[in-house]
């Protein structure tokens, strides 16, 4: 029987609404969870987003608990651990300058061809995250209500992804957050990140559990499910909080 030694989470729309800090309730629950098991957060955002949304909102987390927290930004193409009082990068699967330029050109041209390049945006639409190029249809800082209104079914985002993928056969093009498309090196997705996590920690995939909001086929959490890791589907951070409370209660009663 598998033993839960590590619980991994998506970030946006799983631990917190898109691009916003985690709720104090969620922060307190993550601290309690870190006392019970190791925790990983793997998402499309860059490390700065992890810092502002997650790490800065963990209530008085002592170093010995932060050392049990694994951060995997940009869909696992980067990996950070807390060591010697600070966060240190373990690896980064960066794109070459040529790959970055081709990716940004393809996304911009196809979004404009489809009439989906925003005339008004909140922050940059295209972002170089080193190991990942991210297209955010309304900009990095767009309000949640604007994102929901722009593409409630996900069809617009998927049409961009489908148009760009054939133009970049050597790269991985996938749907990201609510209005984003992420581009990484080929074969690198959240399944890659989870596999690397198992290798580097010595914790087998069978002893891991993954919680995410996009486990549907085509979603950016789906590769973890396809990998065979046990998964829990949620539709927002309140669902995740309820899951963590149940998980901790079950362990306490075991």
Is the per-residue pLDDT at 46 higher than 60? yes
Give per-residue pLDDT as tens, 135-186: 999 998 899 899 889 999 889 999 999 999 999 999 999 887 779 999 999 9
Give per-residue pLDDT as tens, 64-82: 999 999 999 988 989 999 9
- As a whole number of angstroms, the distance between CA 225 and CA 66 comes to 26
- Token readout for 115 is 């009439």
- As a whole number of angstroms, the distance between CA 47 and CA 72 comes to 8
SS3 state of residue 181: strand
pLDDT band at 219, cuts 50/70/90?
confident
- As a whole number of angstroms, the distance between CA 134 and CA 120 comes to 17
Query: Which pLDDT score, from 0 to 100, does residue 254 have?
Result: 64
How many helices and strands (H and E) does the chain possess? Answer: 10, 11
CB 164 within 8 A of CB 106: yes
pLDDT band at 37, cuts 50/70/90?
very high
CB 50 within 8 A of CB 72: no
Is the per-residue pLDDT at 1 higher than 60? no
Query: Which pLDDT score, from 0 to 100, does residue 154 have?
Result: 87
Query: Which pLDDT score, from 0 to 100, does residue 237 have?
Result: 97
CB 170 within 8 A of CB 188: no
Q: What is the mean pLDDT of the chain?
A: 93
Sheet holding 208-212, edge to edge: 86-92, 78-83, 69-72, 38-42, 6-9, 208-212, 230-233
- Token readout for 148 is 């929901």
Give per-residue pLDDT as tens, 237-249: 999 999 999 999 9
Which residues does 53 contact at the CB level (< 8 Å), separation at least 6?
A: 11, 15, 16, 19, 20, 21, 22, 45
SS3 state of residue 134: strand
pLDDT band at 2, cuts 50/70/90?
low
Q: What percent of the chain has pLDDT over 90?
A: 79
Query: Which pLDDT score, from 0 to 100, does residue 205 have?
Result: 97
220-251: burial string, b at 16+ Cβ within 10 Å, e else: bbbbbbebebebbbbeebebbbebbeebbeee
CB 30 within 8 A of CB 8: no
Is the per-residue pLDDT at 189 higher than 90? no
């Amino acid at each position: 029987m598998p033993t839960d030694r590590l619980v991994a989470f998506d970030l946006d729309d799983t631990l917190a609404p898109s691009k916003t800090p985690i709720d104090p309730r969620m922060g307190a629950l993550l601290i309690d969870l870190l006392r019970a098991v190791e925790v990983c957060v793997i998402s499309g955002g860059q490390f700065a987003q992890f810092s502002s949304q997650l790490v800065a909102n963990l209530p008085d987390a002592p170093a010995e608990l932060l050392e049990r927290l694994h951060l995997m930004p940009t869909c696992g193409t980067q990996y950070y651990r807390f060591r010697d009082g600070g966060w240190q990068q373990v690896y980064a699967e960066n794109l070459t300058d040529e790959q970055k330029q081709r990716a940004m050109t393809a996304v911009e041209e196809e979004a404009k061809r489809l009439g989906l390049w925003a005339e008004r945006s909140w922050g940059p639409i295209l972002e170089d995250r080193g190991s990942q190029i991210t297209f955010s249809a309304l900009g990095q800082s767009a309000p949640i209500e604007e994102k929901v209104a722009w593409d409630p079914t996900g069809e617009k985002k998927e049409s961009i992804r489908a148009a760009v993928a054939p133009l970049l056969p050597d790269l991985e093009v996938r749907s990201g957050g609510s209005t984003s498309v992420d581009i990484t090196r080929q074969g690198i997705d959240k399944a890659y990140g989870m596999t690397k996590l198992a290798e580097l920690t010595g914790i087998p995939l069978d002893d891991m559990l993954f919680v995410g909001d996009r486990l549907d086929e085509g979603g950016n959490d789906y590769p973890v499910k396809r990998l065979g890791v046990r998964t829990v589907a949620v539709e927002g951070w309140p669902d995740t909080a309820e899951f963590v409370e149940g998980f901790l209660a079950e362990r306490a009663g075991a």
